[in-house]
């Protein structure tokens, strides 16, 4: 799947809070590669622009994969390449990190 270098690639992400997936969110992430690929850090940069500095840090991120006709989530680190899901879609899930949200609440209350 080729696209012009420097285009934006559509991506859907879900946020998971208390084991429940919220409704899907749609964003476009800049891609500077010929094959429409990007890294998790590219998504984090885009989310920081759209939703603020703390948002992406409060979640651990994984991408949608399949294995033997099963639906899987593959955990990601910032320098990891995000792979297509079935159907050539990019789908991410952010799972709330409890200690991050508690630290953020304490920080907000302190001043």
CATH of domain 7-110: 2.40.240.130
Which tens digit of pLDDT belongs to each residue from 3-32? Answer: 455 678 888 999 998 778 899 999 998 876
Q: Which of 68-72, 85-89, 99-103, 106-110 has the highest mean pLDDT?
A: 68-72
pTM over 0.85: no
pLDDT tens for each residue of 36-48: 678 899 999 999 9
Instruction: Estimate the share of the chain in helix, then strand, then coil, as percent rounded to the nearest 5.
Output: 25, 40, 35
Query: Where in the chain are the domains?
Result: 7-110
């Amino acid at each position: 799947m080729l696209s012009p270098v420097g285009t934006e690639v559509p991506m859907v992400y879900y946020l998971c809070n208390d084991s429940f997936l919220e409704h899907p969110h749609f964003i476009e992430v800049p891609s500077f590669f010929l094959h429409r690929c990007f890294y998790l850090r590219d998504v984090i940069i885009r989310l920081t622009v759209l939703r603020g500095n703390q948002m992406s840090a409060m979640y651990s991120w994984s991408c949608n994969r399949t294995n033997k006709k099963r639906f899987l989530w593959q955990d990601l680190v910032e320098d990891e390449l995000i792979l297509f899901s079935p159907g050539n879609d990019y789908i991410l899930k952010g799972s709330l990190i409890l200690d991050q949200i508690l630290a953020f609440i304490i920080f907000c209350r302190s001043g």
